[in-house]
Amino acid sequence: MSAGATTSPGRGPAPPANPAADQPESRSSLWHDAWLRLRKNRLAVFGLCSLAVVTLACLAGPWLSPFRYEEQQLNLGAAPPSLRHWLGTDTLGRDLLVRLLSGGRISLAVGLAATIVALSIGVIYGAVAGFVGGKRDAFLMRVVDIMYSLPFSIFVILLMVMSEEIAKRFNLGPNWRILLLFVAIGAVEWLTMARIVRSQVMAVKKMEFIEAARALGFGRRRIIFRHILPNILGPIIVYATLTIPAVMLLEAFLSFLGLGVQPPMSSWGLLIKDGADKMEEFPWLLIFPAALFSLTLFSLNFLGDGLRDALDVRSSKD
Amino acid sequence: MLRFVTSRFLQSLLALFVVVTATFFMIRFVPGGPFTAEKAITPEIQRNLEAHYGLDQPLWRQYLDYLGNLARGDLGPSFKFSNRTVNEIIADKLPASAELGSLALAVALLLGVSLGTLAAVRRNTWIDYVASTVGMVGISIPTFVVGPLLVLGLAVHLGWLNASGWDYASDRVLPALVLGFAYAAPISRLTRGGLLDILHQDFIRTARAKGASEFRIVTHHALRGGLLPVVSYLGPATAGILTGSFVIETIFQIPGIGREFVLSAFNRDYTLVLGTVILYAALIMALNLVVDVVQAWMNPKVRLES
**pLDDT, tens digit (0-9, with 9 covering 90-100), for B170-194:** 777 788 888 888 888 888 888 888 8
Please tell me which residue, B107 or A71, carries the higher pLDDT value.
B107
**How far is A114 from B204, CA to CA, in rounded Å?**
45
Contact B250/A at CB under 8 A: yes
Chain A residues whose CB is inside 8 A of the B189 CB are none
Q: What is the pLDDT of residue A10?
A: 38
DSSP A279-315: TTT-THHHHHHHHHHHHHHHHHHHHHHHHHHHTTPPP
When pLDDT is averaged across residues B230-250 and rounded to a whole number, the result is: 80
Q: What is the pLDDT of residue A221?
A: 81
Q: Which of residues 249-288 of A touch B (CB under 8 A)?
A: 249, 252-253, 256-258, 269, 272-273, 275-276, 279-280, 283, 286-287
CB atoms within 10 A of CB A151: 23
Q: Chain B closest CA to A185's CA: distance in Å? A: 15
Which residue of B lies nearest to A250 if distances are taken between CA atoms? B142
The span from the first CA to the last CA of chain B, in angstroms, equals: 10
**Across the interface, which of A149, A256, A269 has its CB nearest the CB of B284?**
A149
| Interchain CB distance below 8 Å, B193 and A158 | no
**How far is B116 from A317, CA to CA, in rounded Å?**
17
Q: What is the pLDDT of residue A1?
A: 36
Contact A172/B at CB under 8 A: no
Q: What is the pLDDT of residue A93?
A: 65
Contact A5/B at CB under 8 A: no
Query: Phi and psi dihedrals of B189, rounded to 5?
Result: -65, -45
Q: Which of residues 59-98 of B touch A (CB under 8 A)?
A: none
Residues of chain A with pLDDT under 50: 1-26, 315-318
**How far is A310 from A234, CA to CA, in rounded Å?**
9
Q: Which of A46, A146, A130, A64 is nearest to A101 (CA)?
A: A64
| Interchain CB distance below 8 Å, A149 and B149 | no
Contact A314/B at CB under 8 A: no
**How far is B93 from A235, CA to CA, in rounded Å?**
44
CB atoms within 10 A of CB B6: 10
Contact A294/B at CB under 8 A: yes
Q: Which of B104, B75, B95, B86 is nearest to B255 (CA)?
A: B95
Contact B110/A at CB under 8 A: no
Q: What is the pLDDT of residue A268?
A: 84
Q: Chain A closest CA to B10's CA: distance in Å? A: 11
CB B52 within 8 A of CB B82: no
Sequence-ordered list of residues with C-beta below 8 angstroms from that of A105, at least 6 positions apart, any chain: A58, A59, A62
ipTM: 0.72
Q: Which of helix, strand or coil describes residue B280?
A: helix
Q: Give CA torsion, residues B1, B7, B9, B15, to 10 deg.
A: -150
Chain B residues whose CB is inside 8 A of the A150 CB are 15, 18-19, 281, 284
User: Which amino acid does the sequence have at B260?
Assistant: E
**How far is B290 from A76, CA to CA, in rounded Å?**
57
| Interchain CB distance below 8 Å, A151 and B19 | yes
Which residue of B lies nearest to A165 if distances are taken between CA atoms? B31
**How far is A224 from A205, CA to CA, in rounded Å?**
9
For testing the chain B interface, which of A51, A143, A149, A268 should be mutated: the one with the most B CBs within 10 Å? A149
Q: Chain B closest CA to A171's CA: distance in Å? A: 13
The 10 Å CB-count burial string (b at 16+, else e) for A86-111 is: ebbbbbbbbbbbbbbbbbbbbbbebb
Contact B196/A at CB under 8 A: no
Q: Which of A198, A160, A155, A154 is nearest to A177 (CA)?
A: A160
Q: Chain B closest CA to A189's CA: distance in Å? A: 13
Q: Chain B closest CA to A181's CA: distance in Å? A: 17
Q: Which of helix, strand or coil describes residue B72?
A: coil
**Across the interface, which of B27, B140, B281 has its CB nearest the CB of A294?**
B140
For testing the chain A interface, which of B21, B149, B299 should be mutated: the one with the most A CBs within 10 Å? B149
| Interchain CB distance below 8 Å, A301 and B140 | yes
User: Which amino acid does the sequence have at A248?
Assistant: M
Q: What is the pLDDT of residue A21?
A: 45
SS3 content of chain B, % helix, strand, coil (to 5): 80, 0, 20
Q: What is the pLDDT of residue B184?
A: 85
CB A105 within 8 A of CB A55: no
Query: Phi and psi dihedrals of B231, rounded to 5?
Result: -60, -40
DSSP B139-208: HHS-HHHHHHHHIIIIIIIS-SS-SS-SSSGGGGHHHHHHHHHHHHHHHHHHHHHHHHHHHTSHHHHHHH
Q: Which residues pair with B77 in a beta bridge?
A: B85
Cis omega (within 30 of 0) on the bond before A264? yes
Sequence-ordered list of residues with C-beta below 8 angstroms from that of A96, at least 6 positions apart, any chain: A85, A87, A88, A89, A90, A271, A284, A285, A288, A289
Is this prediction's pTM over 0.80? no
Sequence-ordered list of residues with C-beta below 8 angstroms from that of A72, at least 6 positions apart, any chain: A92, A93, A94
Chain A residues whose CB is inside 8 A of the B284 CB are 149-151
Residue A219 DSSP code:
-
Chain A residues whose CB is inside 8 A of the B266 CB are 161, 258
Which residue of A lies nearest to B36 if distances are taken between CA atoms? A165
* Burial class of residue A148 (count of CB atoms within 10 Å of its CB; 0-12, 13-18, 19+): middle
For testing the chain A interface, which of B16, B145, B243 should be mutated: the one with the most A CBs within 10 Å? B145
| Interchain CB distance below 8 Å, A290 and B149 | yes
Contact A199/B at CB under 8 A: no
Contact A306/B at CB under 8 A: no
- Residue B270 binned pLDDT confidence (cut-offs 50, 70, 90): confident
When pLDDT is averaged across residues B255-259 and rounded to a whole number, the result is: 84
Judged against a pLDDT cut of 60, whether residue B306 lies above it is answered with no
Please state, rounded to an integer, the average pLDDT across all residues of chain B: 79
Please tell me which residue, B117 or A72, carries the higher pLDDT value.
B117
- Residue B229 binned pLDDT confidence (cut-offs 50, 70, 90): confident
Q: What is the pLDDT of residue A74?
A: 64
Q: Which of helix, strand or coil describes residue A81?
A: coil
Alpha helices in chain A (DSSP H): 2-5, 18-22, 24-40, 42-64, 96-132, 134-148, 152-170, 174-204, 208-215, 220-222, 233-256, 268-278, 284-310
Please tell me which residue, A165 or B222, carries the higher pLDDT value.
B222
